Amino acid sequence: MASLNKVMIMGNLTRDPEVRYTPKGQAVVDIGLAVNRRYKVENETREEVTFIDVTFWGRSAEIIGQYMKKGRPLYVEGRLQLDSWEDKATGQKKSRLKVIGDEFQFLGGRDGAPGGGGGPDDEDAPPRSSRPPQQNSQRNGGNSAPASRPPQDYPAGLDDEDEIPF
């Protein structure tokens, strides 16, 4: 039986990221994302917020720690992981789902402003994606020619925040 564990989310950071290092020197950062959902009930617009814990490792953790701040938007691709433990105070078994981030992309402009920001001439701009250039060429079938369309601030097909394909 085939299985798939893939998550794609966009949201705003709920706190400033704090990068830690394992004893072997690998960077790790735990961030919280607030993902908003707007919907209508009898001509009344309502909003619900889902809070999601995300963990990044290695260079991705360092980049997020360096450039992201509370409230900034972030697009994340990753996988779900179930953490289980026993509560020392009550002895009860506890568990929670979190996302292990594989790739990310900064959204919005610099300092949280809307728009692109960080053009090719901007030396201080953060990288737009966690995916190294060699992976991009592999995704194009090994062809080193540039993709037919330029990179965008949003993942493919998400031109407007109201048009999320669910």
- CA 17 to CA 23: how far, in whole Å? 19
- Decide if 48 contacts 34 (C-beta within 8 A): no
Per-residue confidence at 130, pLDDT binned at 50, 70, 90?
low
The answer, yes or no, to whether residue 46 has pLDDT greater than 90, is yes
Written out in words, the top-level CATH class of the domain with range 7-132 is mainly beta
Say if pTM beats, i.e. exceeds, 0.75. no
CA dihedral 40, 41, 43, 47 (to 10 degrees): -40
Q: Is a pLDDT exceeding 70 seen at residue 14?
A: yes
Q: Over the range 20-30, which residues count as b (16 or more CB within 10 Å of their CB) and which as e?
A: eeeeeeebbbe
| pLDDT single digits (tens) 134-162 | 333 333 333 333 333 344 444 444 444 55
The pLDDT value recorded for residue 108 is 85
- pLDDT for res 96: 93
